[in-house]
Amino acid sequence: MRVLIACEFSGIVRDAFAKRGYDAWSCDLLPSERPGKHIQDDVRDILDDDWDLMIAHPPCTFLANSGVRWLFQDSRYMTKELRWDYLKEAANFFKELLNAPIPHIAVENPIPHRYAIELIERKYDQKIQPWQFGEPYSKATCFWLNNLPPLKPTKVIPRDQIKQRVWKEPPSKERWKRRSRTYLGVAEAMAEQWGSYVKSKLSSNKK
């Protein structure tokens, strides 16, 4: 079973699938942070390469609800007009992944603002938190799913043990990388639940 983890440089999700015996590859413009099967390229160039499952993590900078206010005012880095252009570009890339010729797809992003949803033309199918998967952190994550079931929580952390790690990250050049990495508990759930689901579908199709 061939699995593509799009827009991943950490190798976390890829390795969760690989250790279960799947032919899992990550793809990103950046090199992989750890050894493993990785394609350093534009993922759009390999979407037709006979994948059975894709999990994609497209950039969220211009899609996330946390930055919606900057669509209506200039920042010190960018005009609002340019930000709208980048929003449309990001939404188009998101749609290319969501509509890729792959039978089973999950696209992941933070909670989007309403303009992103309008451009993507589809609301997310599921919203999860790391603390539902054994990770004591709060970071709402949304999934758009094609032919995949919602993830089921694996280990719910008590509310008084949950931390706001994302918002407390100190400023640095590496901050965006730390914030974008998938939590291991979530990656393991993806590999176990979605991997088993797609594998069973492939077995049924061969009968």
Please give the tally of structural domains in the chain. Answer: 1
Report the pLDDT value the prediction gives residue 170, as an integer from 0 to 100.
57
Instruction: Report the predicted TM-score, pTM, of the whole model to 2 decimal places.
Output: 0.92
pLDDT in tens, the chain (207 residues): 999 999 999 999 999 999 999 999 999 999 999 999 999 999 999 999 999 999 999 999 999 998 888 888 888 888 989 999 999 999 999 999 999 999 999 999 999 999 999 999 999 999 999 999 999 999 999 999 999 999 999 999 999 999 876 555 555 455 545 566 899 999 999 999 999 999 999 998 876
What is the rounded distance in angstroms from the CA atom of residue 41 to the CA atom of residue 164?
A: 33
Q: Quote the domain boundaries for residue 169.
A: 2-206
Residue 106: CATH number of its domain = 3.40.50
Q: Are 77 and 112 in contact (CB under 8 A)?
A: no
How many whole angstroms separate alpha carbon 97 and alpha carbon 111? 17
Contact criterion met (CB below 8 Å) for 62 and 113: no
Instruction: Supply the DSSP symbol for 57.
Output: -
Both tokens assigned to 26: 């990550």
Three-state SS for 145?
Answer: strand
Looking at residue 136, the DSSP 8-state letter turns out to be -
What's the CA gap between 134 and 202, in Å, rounded?
A: 29
